[in-house]
Amino acid sequence: MKTGHIYKGDCIKVMREHIKDENIDLIYADPPYNLSGKSLNLINNKTGGPFYKMNEDWDTWDYNEYVEFTENWFVMLPEKLDKKSSNFV
């Protein structure tokens, strides 16, 4: 793993191929939340302005596919994190 390097790609593949175990100090993850295709629109939101949910193909999964994807990347986090590290999802 390169110090100060940002990896772009499939998170599961990048973690398996480039990240050694117990080598990460911080993971800040913003995974897909599988909300596309659903009716979450808060156009009258008073706390942060209007919120319109995106509707993209990459965020439309059936339930089992989404659970499998989430489990695959999430279970790798503890082995990649250093003992004194943090994880924010």
Q: What are phi and psi of 19, to 5 degrees?
A: -110, 120
| Structure tokens belonging to residue 4 | 């100060």
Domain-located, residue 3 = no
pLDDT digits (tens, 9 = 90+) for 26-75: 888 877 766 555 555 556 666 665 555 556 666 677 788 888 988 998 99
1 in any annotated domain: no
Number of domains in the chain: 1
Assess if residue 41 is contained within a domain: yes
Is 5 part of a structural domain of the chain?
Answer: no
More confident residue, 53 or 76: 76
Long-range contacts, 15-18 (Cβ 8 Å, 24+): 15/73, 15/76, 15/80, 16/76
CA distance 39 to 52: 10
Assessment of whether the complete model's pTM goes beyond 0.75? no
The alpha carbon of residue 66 and the mean position of all alpha carbons in its chain are separated, in whole angstroms, by 12
**What is the model's pLDDT at position 48?**
62
